[in-house]
Amino acid sequence: MLTIGDIQLKNRVVLAPMAGVCNPAFRLIAKEFGTGLVCAEMVSDKAILHGNKRTHDMLFVDEREKPMSLQIFGGDRHSLVEAAKVVDQDSNADIIDINMGCPAPKINKIDAGARWLLDPNKINEMVAAVVANVSKPVTVKMRIGWDHDHIYVIDNAKAVEAAGGKAISLHARTRQQLYTGQADWSYIKQAKEAVSIPVIGNGDVMTPEDAKRMLDTTGCDGVMIGRGALGNPWMLYRTVEYLKTGELLPDPTAEEKVRIAILHMDRLINLKGEQVAMREMRKHLSWYLKGLKGSAKIKDSIMEETKRDEMVRILHNFLENQPSLAGSAADYEAVPFVQVQCATPASV
């Protein structure tokens, strides 16, 4: 098992804190699919201190998600500490994670995110300041370096440990790479060998076999899955089971995918209202339907639809017109969670 501070996880599979994705609607699905730890999308320290409603909503934690990690970012020590104290005292998150891996220029120009990777001393100073002012375990998500000429992954990992950080999640790409090229897992191995706190590997884990290979080749303590779970929470469950039993479970049927996609949509509507949720669900639905035969034919309809019931009809009609894609009753037992039934379209 993987333990972070005093928080013991039930397995070594972690959902990455993806911006615009990891709200409570998706995090809860990931948790119900067996994920050991779910991480919320990053929140600005300044936004937390300003206390607007949107930010307050981003700090919401459903008890069913726990244990969960809430990620903050910022470049100023005082505001980062004060924001961490808000999360510590006013949120029921279990772990406070500090982002130092975001490659976005608008984040880096305020001396936040991946910008810290150039200065191990700042990492130590900022993490130590947060640790000293909160009671919850503090972790860090970082990249291996700023670019290939500035990779200080060992010094940075040691700085986190020396500051009292309880774990490191390491995306094995540089800031310069963004999400392109290949993740270099050898740096995960280097970080693991350099510190005694848990190191969670991240980058290019798209299959359960990838997860096992990362654990075996790097010796890391856990595996963080990001893009591999987009529209595919089954990847999380299949990875948990593969690491536990060695059994590679089948991919979900089209019926399973549509059922969970609608459940995801309904939870997002409950969270944000129909107007906002329907705009956000368009990208999720494209991910859920990716690779399914005939799905390209309804892509335009999905990208234009603004009403929940009409979207459900589109998805149900897609299944009805593709009878060969429908799943059997046995599919409901593929994972415990798929026994949850999605709602049907409202009566006209």
Active-site amino acid positions: 102
Give residue 314's identity as a one-letter amino acid code. I
Structure tokens at 91: 């949120």
Give me the helices (H) in 36-76, please: 45-50, 53-58
Alpha helices in the chain (DSSP H): 24-32, 45-50, 53-58, 77-90, 105-108, 120-131, 153-162, 186-194, 208-218, 234-245, 254-272, 274-289, 299-304, 308-320
Spatial distance between the Cα atoms of 234 and 255, rounded to a whole number of angstroms: 13
Taking a C-beta distance cutoff of 8 angstroms, is the pair 207, 3 a contact? no
How far is the first Cα of the chain from the last one, in angstroms, to the nearest whole number?
50
DSSP 5: T
Cβ-Cβ contacts under 8 Å for 303 (sequence gap 6 or more): 282, 286
Pairing of strands 68-73, 37-39: parallel
DSSP state of 179: T
How large is the C-alpha radius of gyration of the chain? 20
**Cα(310)–Cα(305) distance, integer angstroms:** 7
Placement of tokens 């963004």 in the chain:
178
Name the one residue in this structure whose structure tokens are 């100023």. Answer: 76
Dihedral of CA atoms 10, 144, 23, 64 in degrees, nearest 10, equals 10
